[in-house]
Amino acid sequence: MSTHFFADTAVLTGRSMRHITRSADTIITTAITPIALLLLFVFVFGGAIETGTDNYVNYLLPGIMLIAIASGIAYTAFRLFTDLQSGIFERFHSMPIARSSVLWAHVLTSMVANGLTLVIIVGVALLMGFRTSANLLAWLAAAGILALFTLALTWLAVIAGLTAKTVDGAGGFSYVLIFLPFISSAFVPTATMPGPVRVFAENQPVTSIVNSIQDLFAGQPVGRDIWIALAWCVGILLVAYGFAMAAYRRRIA
């Protein structure tokens, strides 16, 4: 690995970020669907859904944020796939730079772009009545979980971007991830679900992440959910990173 890894990554991240700033509609587009869901469920279905909270937007927001992240990482796979098809990777590899910095630039761009999308969504939620009693430490903990979740899914996106045969295939994998919050505690408590669905909902990663963020935003003590959430995120991250690097080595061999 080049001794200039960090400098190489910074330069390549700047390149990727310029693509984002030149097409800011990408961030806006990524935020539109989650915001539409937020509006739909709060103002149309919210009155009919019993969650045990006075303000449904408070309950709903963590799940909407996870949907936004799952949607946003599809663009990471798309940008990576486009770079591969354009031949820019071969040009980078002909230069004296750290090869892994090419991937890390896409990963860091994903983190920044998804972070901006989440800020937009939180802003809309505040206008809709979202209120929290979370202190600074709770906000930092929630941000940390969201960042770790984004990083884990981004490396899944890297795998898709490296192995896809078509541009639709590069981003198509994200549909499964977008669907997961709908079978979790993101929209309704899992206790209201029928047996088999409830078992799945309570034992998939989104539920523990949503429960943890809900407790943090409510200023309540977090239980074992936060440790389960962290275990899921770290586990997905390590496995995805390993497969992504293996796929990358095969592509550049």
So where are the chain's domains? Answer: 5-252
Q: What average pLDDT does the segment 45-52 reach?
A: 76
pLDDT at 149 over 70: yes
pTM: 0.90
Which DSSP string corresponds to 99-135? THHHHHHHHHHHHHHHHHHHHHHHHHHHHTT------
Report yes or no: 56 and 49 within 8 Å, Cβ to Cβ. Answer: yes
Contacts of 187 (CB under 8 A, 6+ apart): 41, 49, 60, 63, 181
CA atoms within 13 A on the CB side of 224: 2
Q: What average pLDDT does the segment 135-161 reach?
A: 96
Tokens 């929630």 appear where?
142
pLDDT band at 127 (very low <50, low <70, confident <90, very high): very high
